[in-house]
Amino acid sequence: MTKSPIILVIGTFDTKDEELNYLCARIRAQGAEVLTMDVSVLGNPSQPTNISKAEVAAAAGRTIDEAMTAEDENVAMQIMAAGAAMLTAKLHAEGRIQGMIALGGTMGTDLALDCARALPIGVPKYVVSTIAFSALIPPDRLSADIQMILWAGGLYGLNDICKATLSQAAGAVVGAARAVEPPNPDRPVIGMMSFGSSALKYMIHLRQPLIDRGFSVAVFHGTGMGGMAMESLAEQGYFACVLELAVAEIGNLMVGSIVNAGANRMTSAPKRGTPVIAAPGFGDMIDFAAWAPVPERFRDRPYHAHNRLLASASLTAEERGDLAHEVARRLKSGSGPVAFVLPTQASTHGTPKACQPTIPKPWRRWSAPIAQQ
């Protein structure tokens, strides 16, 4: 990577001028260069930024006056977000920046998520946010390799707490720009959905043969965020083929579990025309948060807390059938070729550990005796 990476610093320089200038100073102190982009609407920065708010609005095909006189702050911000995302992509494509970092409360974060999505995998994209990790962040707006940092105590002015965060953030983005090994652009990539190998073994059987055929193999964890990441890449046409071999995220979506990968899950590859091979992995259970009350409708079913984060419960026969039809509907939502491999012996999936009498050879055979809870 270049010795002096150029980092795009994005923020509302009217209200966060001091914090952003501190961040820029810390980035420069690491030996990197800074390109500043002001996405504020109403006020003015203490000194001109490299990219002005007017240029941001113009990139969205609008004027800053239109943003300033927009009917509300939401409309204004979306004008700036469109322009900022466009400029972020353009600056990177032109080789003028090697990474981005954005600072935000809810407005700035909303805009920053669009900017991060505009950059390819392997380009450092940092969002320093007062709402990092919160339920306010919709998973389907996250880039597959976004880095978020919680910024607390910095709503109004610098102090030791937020300086500790901002200085680390500066080190992170510069360090990332220097350390990154970007993806090989020439090797076709297979995206595969799976769960851990104690449950599903096909990733072990498939990985090396696929590598031998010349593919790079990216296996995504079906616990919501993994599917979201895979879906966002599928939407960009990133994959040569997608192996949708586990369907639990669709089941989770159908029952309203937070462990889902967004409403569009499993539709991007078909719509893109990317070939898909699918299978009913984990089609008999759903996941939910282990730290929240068990959802009402699952309270009378076998349930197992995998750890303090994640718990699983079984689907009824009827629910599994509904899931099958929903999976089919999504796979048919585009024009891409789809193959479905249906293992008719105990497929998949999980018998929750609570139902197993011993340390399991889990999920191997339906006919293995289990104890009732």
Partner 1 sequence: MPAHDPEALAAMVSAYRAAMTVPIQLTELDCHINDEAFSVEVLRIIDRWIADGTITMTR
Give the phi and the psi of residue 53 in degrees, each rounded to 5.
-60, -30
Q: Are 265 and 232 in contact (CB under 8 A)?
A: no
Rg (Cα) of the chain, in Å, rounded?
Answer: 23
Residue 241, helix vs strand vs coil = strand
Take residue 360 and report the two structure tokens written for it: 């399991």
Told to check if 234 binds partner 1 by CB under 8 A, we report no
Residues 6+ apart with CB under 8 A from 188: 214, 215, 216, 239, 240, 241
Q: Which of 163, 221, 301, 306 binds partner 1 (CB under 8 A)?
A: 301
Given the DSSP bridges, would you call strands 189-194 and 125-129 parallel, antiparallel or unpaired? unpaired
CA 180 to chain centre: 19
246 phi and psi angles, rounded to 5 deg: -130, 135
Is residue 372 a contact residue for partner 1 (CB under 8 A)? yes
Nearer to partner 1, 255 or 331 (CB): 331
> Residue 138 interacts with partner 1 (CB under 8 A)?
no
CA-nearest of 17, 34, 36, 87 to 57 is 87
Stretch that binds partner 1, among 10-18, 38-46, 156-164, 235-243 (CB under 8 A): 235-243
- Interatomic CA distance for residues 9 and 310, integer angstroms: 36
Q: Is 297 in the site for partner 1 (CB under 8 A)?
A: no
Nearer to partner 1, 268 or 351 (CB): 351
Q: Does 291 bind partner 1 (CB under 8 A)?
A: no
Q: Are 221 and 200 in contact (CB under 8 A)?
A: no
Candidate residues 44, 78, 168, 347; the one interacting with partner 1 per rule CB under 8 A: 347
Q: Which of 284, 286, 298, 311 binds partner 1 (CB under 8 A)?
A: 284
13 or 363: CB nearest partner 1: 363
Binding partner 1 by CB under 8 A: which of 78, 331, 359, 360?
Answer: 331
**Contact set for partner 1, span 194-213 (CB under 8 A):** 200-202, 205-206, 209-210, 213
Q: What's the closest the beta carbon of residue 140 comes to partner 1, in angstroms?
A: 25
Interface with partner 1 (CB under 8 A), residue from 57, 245, 253, 311 = 245
* For partner 1, the closer CB: 54 or 240: 240
d(CA 56, CA 292): 42
Sign of the alpha-carbon dihedral angle for 232, 238, 239, 240: positive
Residue of 94, 342, 358, 359 that binds partner 1 (CB under 8 A): 342
Q: Which is nearer to partner 1, 171 or 295 (CB)?
A: 295
CA distance 314 to 283: 9
| Using rule CB under 8 A, residue 365 touches partner 1 | yes
> Rule CB under 8 A: which of 210-229 touch partner 1?
210, 213-214
Residues 163, 156: Cα–Cα separation, whole Å: 12
The span of 137-145, 149-157, 248-256, 357-365 binding partner 1 (CB under 8 A) equals: 357-365
Of 127 and 246, CB closest to partner 1: 246
Q: Does 332 bind partner 1 (CB under 8 A)?
A: yes
Is residue 96 part of the contact set for partner 1 (CB under 8 A)?
no
Q: Is 260 among the residues that bind partner 1 (CB under 8 A)?
A: no
Distance CA 101, CA 219 (A): 27
For residue 308, report the phi and psi dihedrals to the nearest 5 degrees. Answer: -75, -5
Contact with partner 1 (CB under 8 A) among 160, 185, 263, 293: 185
Residue 218's region, left for phi above 0, alpha for psi from -120 to 50, else beta, is: beta
For residue 272, the minimal CB distance to partner 1 (Å) is 12
Taking contact as CB under 8 A, which single stretch among the options 106-114, 149-157, 259-267, 328-336 is the one that binds partner 1? 328-336
Q: How many Å apart are CA 351 and CA 218, to the nearest integer?
A: 26
Q: Tell me the longest C-alpha to C-alpha distance in the chain.
A: 73
Q: Residue numbers of the site for partner 1 (CB under 8 A)?
A: 185-189, 200-202, 205-206, 209-210, 213-214, 240-241, 243, 245, 275, 277, 279-281, 283-285, 301-302, 314, 316-318, 320-322, 324-325, 327-328, 331-332, 337-352, 355, 363-368, 370, 372-373
